[in-house]
Amino acid sequence: MKKNDIILILIILVISGAGLFVLHATKSSGSFVKITVDGNVVATYDLSVNQTYELEGYEGGYNILVIENGEAYFREADCPDLVCVKSGKIHKVGETIVCLPHRVVAEIVNEGEDAEVDTVSQ
């Protein structure tokens, strides 16, 4: 590798890192967590209220949603891979946790956000 190649790679890495930082830093904290099961909104919970909810997934199964200190996470689930449990806590608008086997999605939204579909792709 030549010196100019290394400089170009470093410049690209710095610009990419700065872009990711700006995108992450400008997201605002959400007010609610919207729960959908198989594409249908089943509940919206306030992030300011510490609570635990048991969610029934598509065709059975369960996920335990915990809201603490303005953050939401799945503490427990009976799906085989437990990716949703390992996803960690979410609190910024647009962040999601997905449990594919149960078709459960937890998404952070702001107060008054419309739950309607913006576009449809075919």
For the stretch 50-105, pLDDT in tens is: 999 999 988 888 999 999 999 999 999 999 999 999 999 999 998 999 999 999 99
Residue 50 or residue 112, greater confidence: 50
At 112, the pLDDT band (50, 70, 90 cuts) reads low
What letter would DSSP give residue 90?
B
| Helical spans, DSSP H, in the chain | 3-25, 83-86
Q: Model's pTM, two decimal places?
A: 0.71
Phi-psi region of 103 (alpha: psi -120 to 50; beta: other; left: phi over 0): left
Joined together, the tokens standing for residue 113 give 């956000």
Shortest CA distance to 95 belongs to which of 63, 122, 70, 116?
70
Look at residue 113 and tell me whether its pLDDT is greater than 70. no
For the stretch 6-61, pLDDT in tens is: 999 999 999 998 988 887 776 778 899 999 999 999 999 999 999 999 999 888 88
